[in-house]
Amino acid sequence: MTDLSHLRDDFPILHREVNGWPLVYLDSAATTQKPVQVLDAVDAFYRTKNANVHRGAHTLSAEATAAYEGARAKVAAFVNAGSPNEIVFSRGATTALNHIAYGWGLNHLSAGDRVVLTVMEHHANVVPWQLLARYTGIELVYLTLDDDYEVDLTGLDDLLDERVKVVAISAMSNVTGTLGPVRPLVEAARSVGALVVVDAAQLVPHSPTDVQDLDADFLVFSGHKMLAPTGIGALWGKSERLEEMEPTEGGGEMIADVGLYESRWAPVPQKFEAGTPPVAQAVGLGAAVDYLTAIGMETVRAHEHAITGYTLKRLAEVPDLKVYGPSDPTRRGGAVSFTLADIHAHDIATILDQRGIEVRAGHHCAKPLMRYLAVPATARASFYLYNTTDDVDRLVDGLFEARSVFGFDA
Ligand code: PMP
């Protein structure tokens, strides 16, 4: 297995204890821990350069602007965007998807138009389209999953017609770890002139991502899931798509001119960044990108495949445990959801927490998927580059403990 355990020293929080046990953090699909390199970059920004950006004539403002725009250039390079201007900083994936639904959708979609989604979408890629449907009368249609939790494309040809204007898909489910079939969907969407929106909140942190190669129209992700602070994320869009998108928030920073009754917008991407932006958070995201680039995203992905494979193998040893997700670790991401007999997911998480092991339990902001899988909740272990097979072994020991607490044979 690709050994990245030396990186653990970069993450101060991994050295703390929880309930008297060394912490095992298995909730990186919710948010990741932060290395000192990111913490130091944010700290140094506030200590040495802090000022508001863009309009300032003074030195600190120029330095803060260079740091902010430098972060944009780093993020652009990280996903191979055609230009830094194709990167709009947002609060996260959720805000970015709302920008697309309102900023693009309100102006280009109308009653009877269709948006194709999948049943595995996070609420962030469902609810904005539902809100848009209320305003415009668009219809939402859903692709389902096959027996191995992969997106079922067999009915796609029947689904795709000239009514379909947008296909919006998660590149990786935060519940099942399923990789969304972005390439075939881009191809299929093009055949009817539809746009493709990719929710890459779980892809960009875990895998090399090349937006030009994927050739979608929009792709969104969150910084806090890739070692950066909360409050910063990105919306990548093809230049022509961003040009035809309207701003969804108005205020300072996003204008070229403001009159009493009319205003003109600043060029892309400032047009979408109303108000004082999250400068220090962007600097933190730039540092996170540097950190991940130094390790290499191929290495990050290889480590994730290996630890996911090890986890699936070890979980198979636990009687009455059911994993909800693709069986081939190289065809999935490192979010592993499971149920254990009829023990409630929250009880599993509580028992694990008593042993210092942090997993998520609940619907994971994917209620349509939970209903589709016919489970009220699952427990979920999710991995990042700092996790080791020791973490997985501790998880499995904890699950045997949960079995015995609930009176099941070991
Ligand atoms: N999409 C997916 C697949 C996610 O996992 C998440 C976060 N759990 C989001 C969107 C939303 O990200 P954020 O809360 O950072 O906006």
- For the four alpha carbons of 74, 77, 81 and 85, in that order, the dihedral sign comes to positive
What mean pLDDT is predicted for residues 306-325?
Answer: 98
HSE-CB of 344 using CA atoms within 13 angstroms: 4
CA 273 from chain centre, in angstroms, equals 20
Which residue's CA is the nearest one to ligand 1's atom 8?
30
Indicate which residue of 365, 373, 392, 402 is catalytic: 365
Contact 330, 306 (CB under 8 A): no
The whole-number pLDDT of residue 55 equals: 78
What average pLDDT does range 118-142 have in this prediction? 98
- What is the reported pLDDT for 50? 96
Percent of the chain with pLDDT over 90: 97
Q: How many alpha carbons lie under 13 Å from residue 144 in its C-beta half-sphere?
A: 8
Atom of ligand 1 nearest to the CA of 96: 16
Judge whether residue 409 has pLDDT over 90.
Answer: no
Q: Please report where in the chains the tokens 């944010």 appear, as a residue.
A: 42
Rounded to the nearest whole angstrom, what is the distance from the C-alpha of residue 319 to the centroid of ligand 1? Answer: 31
Are 220 and 200 in contact, with CB atoms under 8 Å apart?
yes
The residue ranges of every structural domain in the chain are 5-30+296-405, 39-293
List pLDDT tens digits, range 90-129.
999 999 999 999 999 999 999 999 999 999 999 999 999 9
Instruction: Evaluate whether 360 touches 345 at the Cβ level (below 8 Å).
Output: no
Q: Confirm whether 365 is a catalytic residue.
A: yes
Rounded CA-CA distance 185/116 in Å is: 10
Distance of CA 243 to the CA centre of its chain: 24
Alpha-carbon distance 9 to 184, whole Å? 40
- Residue 207 confidence (pLDDT): 98
Q: Residue 173 pLDDT more than 90?
A: yes
Integer Cα distance of 238 and 249 in angstroms: 20
Mean pLDDT of 59-81: 97
Pocket perturbation via mutation, ligand 1, pick of 27, 199, 224, 227 by most ligand atoms within 8 A of CB: 199
pLDDT-derived band at 1 (thresholds 50, 70, 90) equals confident
Distance (Å, whole) CA 338 – CA 149: 13
Report, as an integer, the average pLDDT of 34-40.
Answer: 98
Q: Tell me the CB-side half-sphere exposure of residue 378, using CA atoms within 13 A.
A: 27
Q: Is the CB of residue 74 less than 8 Å from the CB of residue 286?
A: yes
Q: Which residues line ligand 1 (CB under 6 A)?
A: 29, 92-94, 122, 124, 170, 174, 199, 201-202, 222, 365
Residue pair 323/379 in contact (Cβ under 8 Å)? The answer is no
What is the fold, at CATH topology level, of the domain defined by 5-30+296-405?
Answer: Aspartate Aminotransferase, domain 1 (3.90.1150)
Q: Which residues contact 50 (CB under 8 A, 6 or more apart)?
A: 60, 64, 279, 280
Three-state secondary-structure class, residue 204: coil
Are 64 and 53 in contact by the 8 Å Cβ rule? The answer is yes
Output the CA 228–ligand 1 centroid distance in Å. Answer: 14
The answer to whether residue 155 scores a pLDDT higher than 90 is: no
Identical fold for domains 5-30+296-405 and 39-293, yes or no, is: no
How much distance in Å is there from the Cα of 84 to the middle of ligand 1?
23
**Of 365, 380, 382, best ligand 1 pocket probe by most atoms within 8 Å of the beta carbon:** 365
Residue 366 has pLDDT above 90, yes or no: yes
Tokens standing for 97? 């998807």
Element (H, E) at 116: strand 114-118
The residue to mutate among 199, 222, 384, having the most atoms of ligand 1 within 8 angstroms of its beta carbon, is 222
Any idea of the CA torsion for 93, 95, 98, 100, to the nearest 10 degrees?
Answer: -70
Average pLDDT value for residue range 175-189: 97
Give the residue carrying structure tokens 């539902």. 130
Å from CA of 225 to ligand 1 middle: 8
Which residue in 14, 10, 9 sits closest to 27, CA to CA? 14
Give me the helices (H) in 316-387, please. Answer: 345-354, 367-373
CA distance 178 to 372: 14
- What average pLDDT does the structure give for the chain? 97
Q: Are 105 and 132 in contact (CB under 8 A)?
A: yes
Taking only the tens place, the pLDDT of each residue in 193-212 is 999 999 999 999 999 999 99
Q: Is the pLDDT of residue 410 over 70?
A: no
Q: Which CATH number fits the domain 39-293, given the four candidates 3.30.413.10, 2.60.130.10, 3.40.640.10, 3.40.190.10? A: 3.40.640.10
Edge-to-edge strand list for the sheet holding 360-362: 321-324, 335-340, 378-382, 360-362
State the distance from the centre of ligand 1 to the C-alpha of 72, rounded, in angstroms.
20
